[in-house]
Amino acid sequence: MKKIDTQLKNLPDDPGIYLFYNTKKELIYVGKATSLRNRVSSYFRNPTLALPFGRGGNLRPIEQMIHEVSGIKWKVTDSVLEAIILEANYIKKYQPKYNVLGRDDKSWNYIVITKGEYPIVKTIRQHEGTGRDLSVQYIFGPYPGLNTKATMKLLRRMFFISTCKPPKHAHSQKDSSVSPQNNSKPCLYRQMGLCLGVCTREISSAEYKKKVIRPLVQFLRGGKKRLISTLNTRMKEAAKAEEFEEAARLRNQISSLERIHDIALLNRSFVDDGR
């Protein structure tokens, strides 16, 4: 425990993920935290977990896990959202024993991006299934303890994800009976500057994928720093070409990525990692 005590003292008061290893140096658990220091220390402050067995004399999974921990590592992130993404990537890649044990992973949340002219971004639960859905192009997750409504709201604002559909028919003199939506009427988000014009076809499918989908995919893969660098380059190019509206949009997007306010993304289960 001396090694563990030393590691606990060095934990930062920052968001990130923590990794528990056993004596074989196998990763047995990965979790996320708003404060690495408080969250990881709480495992070892709990007197019940310090006992050989739980209150009823039976060893629960969390108690068994703590008794197996021989080493701790952690990775600090700039935001809680990045901790959520990083945790999901580790779970998917390593399938740690205690992340899987006793979990109802059918209730885990995933973010999916569909194929198509203007891809749709949405959250689903595992039991809703994606494996046979040929319309899905990207799947990210699992994200335990995620407030999906708040997450999608944040992602929509940062990446200008469209929630509307493009008009089915271009407006023409021959078609005077088209509905307002098909008459290229801008949606509310377009009027607020949060939609790039899918509803009015002001943005092509190729441009939408370049400006919205590709940056989002890069971010969800954990590439925020590289993404910001790419956006900075695009912003300078837009300014040089006197595309000042696009340059301003990119500037604001970069600022949003650098200052993510994301505590609302977590539901109550985040506090105890869903246990």
Q: According to CATH, where is 3.40.1440.10 located in the chain? A: 2-103
Per-residue pLDDT, averaged over 6-26, amounts to 94
Q: What distances in angstroms separate CA 222 from CA 112, 187, 241, one per listed residue?
A: 16, 31, 30
Specify the fold of 2-103: GIY-YIG endonuclease (3.40.1440)
Query: Are the CB atoms for 128 and 141 separated by under 8 Å?
Result: no
Q: What distance lies between CA 241 and its chain's CA centroid?
A: 33
What integer pLDDT is reported at residue 219 of this predicted model?
94
- Helix or strand run (H / E) with residue 11: none
Lowest mean pLDDT among 43-47, 204-208, 221-225, 267-271: 267-271
CA distance 212 to 208: 5
Alpha-carbon span 143 to 92, nearest angstrom: 10
Does the pLDDT at position 198 exceed 60? Answer: yes
How much is the average pLDDT of 137-164?
Answer: 87
- The answer to whether the bond into 215 is cis (omega within 30° of 0) is no
More confident residue, 127 or 5: 5
Question: Which pLDDT value is given to residue 181?
Answer: 42
The whole-number average pLDDT for the span 118-141 is 78
Which residues, at least 6 apart from 199, have a Cβ–Cβ distance to it below 8 Å? 162, 164, 165, 166, 167, 181, 184, 185, 186, 187, 190
Residues of the chain with pLDDT > 70, as a percent, come to 78
pTM, to two decimals: 0.71
b/e per residue, 208-243, with b = 16+ CB within 10 A?
Answer: bbebbbebbbebbeeebeebbebbeebbeebeeeee
Going from the C-alpha of 38 to that of each of 2, 11, 15, 102, 235, the distances in angstroms are 19, 9, 10, 24, 39
Distance CA 138, CA 208 (A): 16
Q: Determine the pLDDT at residue 166.
A: 85
User: Tens of pLDDT along 159-185?
Assistant: 999 988 888 755 433 343 333 444 578
Which pLDDT tens digit goes with each residue over 241-252?
A: 999 999 999 999
Question: What is d(CA 234, CA 228) in angstroms, rounded to the nearest whole number?
Answer: 10
- Residue 210 token pair: 């370049």
Residue 198: CB atoms within 10 A of its CB come to 25
Distances (CA, A) of 48 to 60, 62, 222: 11, 10, 36
Identify which of 56-65, 103-112, 237-246 has the greatest average pLDDT: 237-246
| pLDDT the model gives residue 146 | 75
Q: Are 253 and 158 in contact (CB under 8 A)?
A: yes
Which residues contact residue 275 at a Cβ distance below 8 angstroms, ignoring those fewer than 6 apart?
A: 62
- Asked whether 167 and 200 are in contact (CB, 8 A), the reply is yes
Q: What is the CA radius of gyration of the chain?
A: 23
